[in-house]
Structure 1
C-alpha cells in the first residue's frame, strides 16, 4: 500500500471530512445517510421519496439515470430526461443528489446536476474514467469492485486523487463469494481496515451486499457499529414494483424505522443522526416523460 501516497493516513488521527454542500458533510460526527431508488423512474416517484426521506431524515438522495446491467436487455435507466428530474428534486427539497457516472462523456452533464458522482462496482478499475474524475470539482463516491481486494480498492481511489480530486468517499457494497444465499458478502472487516489505512470517509451499502430486504436493517446497524461513516440504502414507495433491484429494496416506512433504530447506536459509538434538511419550497415543476 506504499504507492497510495495521497489517500493513506499519515498519522493515527488523520481523517478527512468532505463537504457535500455548505451544511452537509461526510466523515465528521454526523452519520451520512443516503436513501433512494436504484433507478429514477419518474418525477412523481422521486417527489414521493424526497418528501418522505427529507423528514426521516437522510442527508442525500440516490438515484441512477444510467444503469450498468448484466444483461443488455435489462432496463438501462431513463437516460438524459432524468437530468431534469434530478435538478427539480434538488431545487425543491434541498437535498444533495448522488448519481452514477458510467462513462467519461457523461461527466460534465451529470456534474451540472448532481452533488456527488458515483463510480459503480463494475467501473472501480475503469482507470480512464477514474483519471477523468480526478479533474472534477465534485466529491466522488467510489464503490468497491465485486471481486476487488482492499489494496485494489485503495489504489483505485489513489487514481482519482493523483489526478487532482481528493474528495473521495469509499463505499463497501459486498464482494462476490461461493455462497449464493446473499447477493454478495458484506465485508465489514474491510470497513475497519479502510478506516485504519485511509483518511477517507467510508460508507456501507447493505442493499447490494445482501440482495434481500429483510437483511438490510441488521447489517446497516452492524456497519455503524463497525465504524462506517454512513450508509447507502435502496428504498422505494412500492419496492415490489421497482424497475430494478426490487428484491433488495425496502419501503419508505422501513427506511424511517431503520434511521430511528440507528439513533441510540450512533450515540453509543460517538456519532449522531443529522437534522431534517429545510425544504426549498419551490413549486413542483411539470416534466413530460
Structure 2
C-alpha cells in the first residue's frame, strides 16, 4: 500500500498509527513526493490521517515501479542525458575494456555516429574462471578518462557490494548485470548510491520478477532506474539468448520506468544485432546498449557479437530513420 503524503505537515500521528498496525513500512522521498510504502495491505488499508493526500493500493505486486500511482513516464537523467523521453538513447562501447587506445578509438567513433553514453566492462562476470575477467579498477579509470576526453557519460557493470565506493569515483551510471539481477544486497546498495541504475533482466526471470528487482532500488529512495531486456534462456539455439520483445512491451505497459534493450547479448552474432536493435526500437525501447570494438575478431570477450565502428555507424543511421518514422529522435 502506498500513501502519498502532503508536503510540510506533521507525520508523527501517521507514524504512530503505522506502528500500532504492526505493518512493515518505510518513509521515502521519491520523484519529489513524500511517500510511505507499507505492507501487508490488510494491516493498513483502513488507516486515515490528515497528512495523507492519496492512498493507493496497487493491484500489481510491484508497487513503486507501477504506473498505477505514477502515471507520467519517468525520465532518468545521466549527467544531462535524458532516458525515457522522445529521444532513443544509445549507449555503445566495448564488451570489455582492454586498454586505453581501444576504448578511445571506440568512444570517438560511437560519439561521432550519435551515441550518447559510453559503455564498457571493467569487471567481467564470465562463465569460466579461466576467461578474461576484466582490468578491474584500471578499467574504470580508463573509462572515466576517455569519457571525460570525448564528452560521454560512462556506464559500467558492478559485481559486488564492496565495489560501490570505487564505482562512485568513476562511473555516471551503474549497471546490474543479468547474473546479479537477483543479488538483493547489491540492488539495495545500488539504490543507496544515488547513481542512476541500468537494471538488466536475469536470463531466467519472468517479467514480474524483473520488475520486482527494481523495487529493491526504488525502495531505497532512488527513482533513477532503467529496465534492460537482454534476452532470456530458452530452448532456441539459433541465437545466443532469446530477446523477449513481448516481455519488454509488457514491462513498458505496466511501469513508469524507461526500458532499454541490449540486442548484442541475445544475438550472439554481429549479423543479427542490427535487426534486433531495430525491432526493439520499433517496439518502444527508450534506450539501446550495443557492443562495439575496433577489431572484434581480436576481442578478449564476446568477439562474435561486437560490431565494428563502421557497422555501428550504419546501424545508427538506420535507427535515426526508424525513430523519425515513429515520431521520435535518436
Shift of 1:242: 0.7
Q: Distance in 1 between matches of 2:144 and 2:285?
A: 29
Matched, 1:49 2:49: no
Q: Distance in 2 between matches of 1:73 and 1:239?
A: 20
* Aligned CA distance change for structure 1 residues 211 and 16 (closer, same or farther; 3 Å): same
Aligned to 2:163: 106
Q: Distance in 2 between matches of 1:3 and 1:187?
A: 21
Single out whichever of 158-167 and 93-102 deviates more from structure 2.
Answer: 158-167
Matched, 1:3 2:61: yes
Which of 249, 265, 276 is equivalent to 1:208? Answer: 265
Unaligned runs of 5+ in 2: 1-58
Shift of 1:3: 2.8
- Which entry has the higher C-alpha Rg, 1 or 2? 2
Aligned to 1:83: 140
Q: Distance in 1 between matches of 2:170 and 2:119?
A: 13
Shift of 1:81: 1.2
RMSD between superposed Cα atoms in Å: 1.2
* Other structure's SS at 1:175 match: coil
> TM-score, structure 2 length as denominator?
0.81
Which of 240, 248, 258 is equivalent to 2:297? Answer: 240
Q: Aligned pairs, how many? A: 272
Aligned to 1:286: none
Answer yes or no: is the 8 Å Cα contact 2:70–2:256 preserved in 1.
no
Aligned to 1:187: 244
Shift of 1:13: 4.9
Q: Distance in 1 between matches of 2:170 and 2:181?
A: 22
Aligned to 1:287: none
Query: Whose strand fraction is larger, Structure 1's or Structure 2's?
Result: 2
Shift of 1:169: 0.5
Which of 285, 288, 299 is equivalent to 1:231? Answer: 288
- Which 4+ stretches in 1 moved above 6 angstroms? none
Q: Distance in 2 between matches of 1:269 and 1:111?
A: 36
1:55-103 superposed Cα distances (whole Å, 9 cap, x missing partner): 1110101101101001111110011111221221122111010100000
Aligned to 2:231: 174
Matched, 1:123 2:183: no
Aligned to 2:279: 222
Aligned to 1:265: 322
* Aligned CA distance change for structure 1 residues 87 and 252 (closer, same or farther; 3 Å): same
Q: Distance in 1 between matches of 2:138 and 2:185?
A: 26
Higher RCO, 1 vs 2 (CA within 8 Å, ≥6 residues apart): 1
Unaligned runs of 5+ in 1: 274-289
Q: Distance in 2 between matches of 1:11 and 1:219?
A: 32
1:116-145 superposed Cα distances (whole Å, 9 cap, x missing partner): 000000000000111111111110000000
Answer yes or no: is the 8 Å Cα contact 2:154–2:172 preserved in 1.
yes
Which of 185, 191, 199 is equivalent to 1:142? Answer: 199
> TM-score, structure 1 length as denominator?
0.92
